[in-house]
Chains A and B, each alone.
Chain A
């Protein structure tokens, strides 16, 4: 049985933050004509690009990096906890980078944009990476812990 952790479940701020993410997705497609898939935007910088295709990618990525700085300046930045050890982090980073490129998307590209476009391909990708994520955490926390 699944037990919900009511103490840490934050439905209002989660939904509000989701709306902001949706707003960014909407602005990027309606103003720039591009899909807000972070792995595609960042990964695209690592391959030969046509002229005029570099600046917007860098600017968008820089906006993401600068977000906590802006947030900290205006409000109190909520703490983040990275519990993974250094080796795990490196392995995880390699897998996230390689896998998201091979699968043509990540949580934003397939999970948010693809599902918003009602793409069957993105629905399959989202189900697969969610299932892999559930299985990995189950193995790490409950089988080999």
Chain B
């Protein structure tokens, strides 16, 4: 069952978020509050994840296909542009407002918390607005292109 593998990987990721305390928005906000009583835990979560990730991506970089024979799809974008900076800024502000980013949002949804449900709905709406605005600007570009 090929669908079981990504499901199990999602479970491992989610359990990692729970074990690390990152599924608790209050703990994330305690990391982001440098001027208050600072909880550096999030930095150690990143360190643990990156320690394993460094090895994994080094191995993956040497291969064209995965161990299951699927193409390894590495990101190709290199440019540091206004979209990257504006998007990351907006994301960071939202993250700082509630202490929730996309992974923990899905875990909070699973805990049955009503606030987790509302956050996920708003997040999906934000993603849908992005997709719609992309489609709109592409359609506009296509319309103006023949004149150039």
Interface residues of A in 82-97 (CB under 8 A from B): 82-84, 86, 88-97
Count of A-B contacts judged by CB separation below 8 Å: 491
| Dominant secondary structure at the B interface | helix
What CA separation (Å) do A27 and B15 show in the bound complex? 14
Closest to A74 in B: B15
Q: Is the CB of A31 within 8 A of B56?
A: no
Q: Which residues of B contact A64 (CB under 8 A)?
A: 10-11, 13-14, 17, 103, 106-107, 110
Can you list, as one digit per residue, whether each of A108-130 has a CB less than 8 Å from chain B (1) or not (0)?
Answer: 10111111111111001110111
Which size bracket describes the interface of B in this complex?
Answer: 35 or more
What CA separation (Å) do A61 and B120 show in the bound complex? 12
B87 within 8 A of A: yes
Q: Which residues of B contact A106 (CB under 8 A)?
A: 91, 101-103
Number of A residues near B (Cβ < 8 Å) is 112
Contact for B41 among A9, A26, A60, A84, CB less than 8 A: A9
**In the complex, given contacts A23-B16, A98-B127, what are 9 additional A-B residue pairs having Cβ atoms less than 8 angstroms apart?**
A8-B41, A29-B56, A62-B10, A68-B111, A78-B23, A90-B122, A94-B126, A96-B94, A98-B130
